[in-house]
């Protein structure tokens, strides 16, 4: 395969959007830069004792903030603001959105929502973590200050979304609504190369990913689907599916995207909206999965149709191979 760098790819595909001003390309390029810095830091996690562990604070969701959560948050926000192409950013790590109100940024037409380091509790044990991002055009006029309505947009309005997985290699996977492409980082020369062009998820898979420790709290339809996954009789080849759950969303999602499978984070009695956040975890991954031919639903319809009410809103999510999501949805609808 010809060695195409992500930089070349961004510029080439920019021409697919007539009248493009190059701002979206600069956003992707800022994300690319920050991801290299964060990847480098994460790779040192076992060596530099002062960069792992918690900072002793909780974020707005009541979760312990890790030092690398804050490091990644700073790097992504700084890289994005420095390009002058977004007017604001909302992050899992910040209670409210941040407005960039200098002359250049305030007139920009995009906002970004980001989970800078998802699954960060896995860093101490050398397990893959990720960054998830979503890009919207602002709703407000460019002459007005950015406001919350610019961030509370439904998934269908996304102009781009993607993730970075810091795994056995670092990869950037993104879509601007024209298919999904994956780029693998070559640390020797500091460049991402196109390694996974036009990614498609198999329509059916053999992997199911869910925290089964919570099963007693799931609704009956979900329990029924999990026993369907485990059953032999209902499958063509008489074999149960394999259970695969890392507990690091980007890693679980990425594996299932490539191999085929379903990732589930249902509601529980104690967390009626599930755990994962709509705007910077579920909606961007839903955008990617649909672009790759898969599906993403909550317990009441498509993730991309949900109109958000709050920045840090949560939703149950079922995401992956289309036939698997369909079977689950049928059982949810018949069993409740
Ligand atoms: P985080 O945003 O605080 O890192 O939490 C999100 C993570 C996901 O990466 C993962 O899929 C999920 O939490 C795992 O939750 P659980 O431990 O309840 O199974
Ligand atoms: Mg997260």
DSSP assignment string, 149-172: GGT---GGG-SEEEEEEESSSEEE
Which H or E run includes 330? helix 322-335
Q: Average pLDDT of the chain?
A: 92
Secondary structure letter of residue 42 according to DSSP: H
Asked whether residue 290 is domain-assigned, the answer is yes
Domain boundary among 196, 231, 254: 196
Query: Between 335 and 296, where is the model more confident?
Result: 296
Same domain, residue pair 190 and 211:
no
- Asked if residue 125 belongs to a domain, the reply is yes
Concatenated DSSP letters for 60-116? TTS-EEEHHHHHHHHHHHHHHHHTT-EEEEEETTSSS-EE--SHHHHT--EEEEEEE
Provide the pLDDT for residue 59: 66
Q: Answer whether 122 contacts ligand 1 (Cβ < 6 A).
A: no
Q: Please identify, among 161, 176, 196, the residue that sits at the C-terminal boundary of a domain.
A: 196
Boundaries of domain holding 94: 6-196
- Assess whether 20 and 145 both reside in one domain: yes
**189 CA distance to ligand 2 centroid (A)?**
30
- Atom 16 in ligand 1: which residue has the minimum CA distance? 247
Domain with residue 243: its CATH number is 3.40.190.80
Distance between the two ends of the chain, CA-based, in angstroms? 48
- Model confidence pLDDT, tens digit, residues 292-304: 999 999 999 999 9
- 69: CATH: 3.30.540.10
Which ligand 1 atom sits nearest the alpha carbon of residue 59? Answer: 3
17 has pLDDT over 90: no
Residues 6+ apart with CB under 8 A from 290: 296, 304
Average pLDDT over residues 31-40: 96
Q: Is 116 within the bounds of a domain?
A: yes
Q: What value, to the nearest 5°, has the Cα angle with vertex 291 and ends 240 and 218?
A: 40
Residues 103 and 175 in one domain: yes
Q: How confident is residue 63, by pLDDT bands cut at 50, 70 and 90? A: low
Which of the listed residues 196, 230, 252 is the one where a domain comes to its end? 196
Name the residue at shortest CA distance from atom 12 of ligand 1: 247
Distance CA 331, CA 80 (A): 43
Distance 247 CA to ligand 1 centre (A): 6
Same domain? 44 vs 161? yes
Ligand 1 atom closest to Cα of residue 129: 9
Establish how many alpha carbons lie within 13 A of residue 159's alpha carbon, considering only the half-sphere containing its beta carbon.
18
Whether pLDDT at 54 is above 90: no
Q: Does the structure show a pLDDT above 70 at 13?
A: yes
- Which tens digit of pLDDT belongs to each residue from 143-193? 889 999 999 999 999 999 999 999 999 999 999 999 999 999 999 999 999
Give the mean pLDDT of 34-49. Answer: 84
* 295 & 322 share domain: yes
- Calculate the dihedral angle through the C-alpha atoms of 255, 32, 287, 85, rounding to the nearest 10 degrees: 170
User: In which region does residue 177 sit, left (phi positive, over 0), alpha (psi from -120 to 50) or beta (all else)?
Assistant: left
Is-contact 45 121, C-beta < 8 A?
Answer: no
Shared domain for 304 and 272, answered yes or no, is yes
Instruction: Tell me how far the alpha carbon of residue 131 lies from the centroid of ligand 2, in angstroms.
Output: 8
Q: Tell me, what's the pLDDT at 61?
A: 66
pLDDT > 90: percent of the chain: 76
Residue 202 is assigned to a structural domain of this protein:
no
**Both 168 and 242 in a single domain?**
no
User: How many domains would you assign to the chain?
Assistant: 2
For residue 315, the model assigns a pLDDT of 98
Name 111's bridge partners. Answer: 88, 136
Please report the atom of ligand 1 found closest to the CA of residue 130.
Answer: 9
Residue 183 domain flag: yes
Same-domain check for residues 168 and 241: no
Predicted confidence (pLDDT) per residue in 219-258, tens digit: 999 999 999 999 987 777 778 999 999 999 999 999 999 9
- The answer to which of 10-19, 194-203, 324-333 has the lowest mean pLDDT is 10-19
* pLDDT confidence tier of residue 60, bands split at 50, 70 and 90: low
140 and 253 in one domain? no
Structure tokens at 272: 């009626």
Give residue 158's pLDDT.
97
The bound ligand whose nearest atom lies closest to the alpha carbon of 251 is 1
The rounded distance, in Å, linking the Cα atoms of 157 and 171 is: 25
Examine the domain organization and report whether 130 and 16 are in the same domain. Answer: yes
**Pair (126, 188) in one structural domain:** yes
The C-alpha angle with vertex 120 and arms to 117 and 122, in degrees rounded to 5, equals: 140
Quick: pLDDT tens for 91-150.
999 999 999 988 778 888 999 999 999 998 888 888 999 999 999 999 999 888 999 999
């Amino acid at each position: 395969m010809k060695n195409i760098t992500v930089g070349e790819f961004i510029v080439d595909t920019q021409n697919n959007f007539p009248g493009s001003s190059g701002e979206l390309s600069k956003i992707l390029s800022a994300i690319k830069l920050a991801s290299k810095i964060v990847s480098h830091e994460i790779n040192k996690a076992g060596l530099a004792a002062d960069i792992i562990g918690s900072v002793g604070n909780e974020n707005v969701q009541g979760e312990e903030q890790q030092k690398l959560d804050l490091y990644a948050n700073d790097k992504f926000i700084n890289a994005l603001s420095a390009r002058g192409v977004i007017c604001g950013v909302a992050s899992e790590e910040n209670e409210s959105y941040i407005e960039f109100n200098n002359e250049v940024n305030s007139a920009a037409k995009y906002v970004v929502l980001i989970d800078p380091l998802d699954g960060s509790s896995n860093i101490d044990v050398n397990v893959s973590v990720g960054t998830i991002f979503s890009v919207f055009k602002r709703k407000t006029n460019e002459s007005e200050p950015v406001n919350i309505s610019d961030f509370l947009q439904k998934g269908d309005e996304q102009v781009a979304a993607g993730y970075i997985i810091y795994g056995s290699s670092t990869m950037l996977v993104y879509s601007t609504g024209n298919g999904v492409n994956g780029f693998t980082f070559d640390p020797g020369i500091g460049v991402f190369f196109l390694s996974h062009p036009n990614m498609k998820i198999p329509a059916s898979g053999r992997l199911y990913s869910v925290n089964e420790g919570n099963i007693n709290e799931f609704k009956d339809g979900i329990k029924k689907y999990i026993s369907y996954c485990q059953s032999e009789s209902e499958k063509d080849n008489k074999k149960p599916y394999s259970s695969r759950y890392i507990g690091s969303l980007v890693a679980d999602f990425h594996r299932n995207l490539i191999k085929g499978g379903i990732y589930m984070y249902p509601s529980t009695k104690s967390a009626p909206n599930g755990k994962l956040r709509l705007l910077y975890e579920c909606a961007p991954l839903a955008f990617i999965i649909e672009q790759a031919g898969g599906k993403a639903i909550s317990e009441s319809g498509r993730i991309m149709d949900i109109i958000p009410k709050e920045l840090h809103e949560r939703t149950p999510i079922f995401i992956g191979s289309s036939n698997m999501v369909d079977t689950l949805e049928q059982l949810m609808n018949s069993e409740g």
